[in-house]
Amino acid sequence: MKKFLLLTLLSIATFLNYAQVGINILIPDSSAVLQLESDKKGLGLTRLTTTQRDAISNPLKGLTIYNTTDSVIEYWNAECWLKVYQKHCYDCDFNMTIDDPTDTLDRVVSDSVFSTITVNQTNGTQPIDLIFISSLPQGVTVQFDGNPTINQSGSIKIVVKADLCAPIGGNYPVIIQGYCGDAIKFLVYNVYIRPPLQVNIPVNQINYNLQALNNLPASPAQYVYCSIGNGVEVKSAVNTLPAFTTGTLDPNSLICLNNNGAILGRGGDGGSVTFNGNLFVVGGEAGQKGGDALNLTARTVLLNNGAVYGGGSGGGSVGIAIGTPSIPVIGAIVIGFVYCGGGGSESGKGGVVNAGGINLGLFANGGDATCCVSSIPGAGPVGNFPITIPISIASINITPSAFGGDGAPFGQQGTAGYLDVDLEVCVSIPIIGNICIPIPIPGGILPFYGPQSDLPGFAVRRNNNPLIGVPDGTYSGAQIKGKVGN
Lowest mean pLDDT among 145-159, 323-337, 352-366: 323-337
CATH class entry, domain 94-193: mainly beta
Output the CA–CA distances (angstroms, integers) from residue 256 to 112, 173, 263, 376, in the order listed.
17, 26, 15, 31
CB 427 within 8 A of CB 394: yes
**pLDDT for residue 249:** 94
**pLDDT for residue 349:** 98
* Residue intervals in the chain for CATH 2.60.40.10: 94-193
Q: How many residues does the chain have?
A: 486
Give the tens place of pLDDT for each residue, 205-220.
Answer: 999 999 999 999 988 9
Lowest mean pLDDT among 24-28, 60-64, 276-280, 433-437: 276-280
**pLDDT for residue 327:** 77
**pLDDT for residue 242:** 98
Name the residue among 379, 318, 381 with its Cα closest to residue 348: 379
Q: What is the H or E stretch that residue 362 is in?
A: strand 358-364
**pLDDT for residue 337:** 85
Band (pLDDT 50/70/90 cuts) for residue 278 is low
Mean pLDDT of the 123-132 span: 93
Global pTM exceeds 0.75:
yes
- DSSP 8-state secondary structure symbol assigned to residue 444: G
CB 238 within 8 A of CB 224: no
What is the spatial distance between Cα 284 and Cα 317, in angstroms, rounded to a whole number?
5
| Vertex 189: Cα angle to 185 and 191 (nearest 5) | 165
Name the residue among 467, 464, 107 with its Cα closest to residue 257: 467
Q: What is the DSSP string of 456-478?
A: PPEEEE-TT--EESS-SEEEESS
Q: Is the pLDDT higher at 340 or at 88? A: 340
